[in-house]
Amino acid sequence: MSPKPWAFTGATQWLRQLVFHVLIGNNDAHAKNVGLIHDSDGTSISQIYDAVPNLFQRGRINWDLAMAIDNVFDHRKITVERLVNEAQSWSLLRRDVIQSTIYSTIHRFQQAQSALTAPAGIDPGVVDGFSWNAARLAAGTEISRPKER
């Protein structure tokens, strides 16, 4: 059985959303936070919603993700290679498309972060955490976590 026509686009969009959730430290990204839209044009994945940087809320650190990535729940252990393995397990995208999608999402995230000013009152740890996650993934290493100051 071949994938539905929207599978390639849908899988690419879902992969972008997954990378975004990892970048912002949203450890509550689960299947109910992905919507399918059925309309006259066919089926598509909804825009991202309920994306909260939970890992950067003071006193609420739980490094486990709601859904495993390449059988790993610990956010600190996520790498680009794990994201690639996860997406390959879906059997919908070629490895080169997966890698390109992941790296372009990281790059676009970094560009957006550089172009925008954080809202007044936001904890600086959030901005630093976003930068840390993106830099670590872009470098091909585990996200890990910064040393305590």
Is the Cβ–Cβ distance between 20 and 101 less than 8 Å? no
Which range, 6-15, 27-36, 78-87, has the best average confidence (pLDDT)? 78-87
Express each pLDDT in 51-90 by its tens digit.
888 777 766 677 899 999 999 999 999 999 999 999 999 9
Residue recorded with tokens 């003071």: 58
Q: What's the pLDDT at 88?
A: 97
Q: If you ran DSSP here, which 8-state letter would residue 50 be given? A: S
Q: Which residues contact 35 (CB under 8 A, 6 or more apart)?
A: 45, 46, 49
Q: At what angle do helices 95-115 and 7-24 cross, to 10 degrees?
A: 50
The Cα 56–Cα 24 span in angstroms is 9
DSSP assignments along 82-139, one per residue: HHHHHHHHTTSS-HHHHHHHHHHHHHHHHHHHHHSPPPTT--HHHHHHHHHHHHHHHT
Structure-model confidence comparison of residues 55 and 96, the more confident one: 96
**6 has a pLDDT exceeding 70:** no
**15 has a pLDDT exceeding 90:** yes
**CA-atom Rg of the chain in angstroms:** 16
The Cα 21–Cα 29 span in angstroms is 7
Give the DSSP H/E element, type plus range, for residue 73: strand 72-74
